[in-house]
Amino acid sequence: MGGYLAGRLRTKWVDTHTNEIYFRDTAHGFLTWAGGAAGISRSFNHHISSLIGGSAKVIGSVAGGATATRRE
């Protein structure tokens, strides 16, 4: 979707060879795709690390509570 929008919103080059226009449109689409993929990957990694960190805290507190009751 981002590559399509990048191609549609660009200014039209009139006196330019079609190969240059094709390359420019391809580069814009690829850069848009790469930026979107990097953003999604960063968001995914953040959420997964938060989930793992939260789970580790819960497991640690449960394990700490179990050892505390066992000592009494």
> In whole angstroms, how far apart are CA 49 and each of 10, 38, 63?
38, 16, 21
Instruction: Check residue 32 and give its pLDDT.
Output: 85
Tens of pLDDT, residue by residue, the chain (72 residues): 666 777 777 777 788 888 988 888 888 888 888 999 999 999 999 988 888 877 777 777 777 665 655 555
Cα–Cα distance between 7 and 53 in angstroms, integer? 41
pTM for this structure?
Answer: 0.57
Show the tokens assigned to 40.
Answer: 């999604």
CA–CA separation, 39 vs 2, rounded Å?
Answer: 13
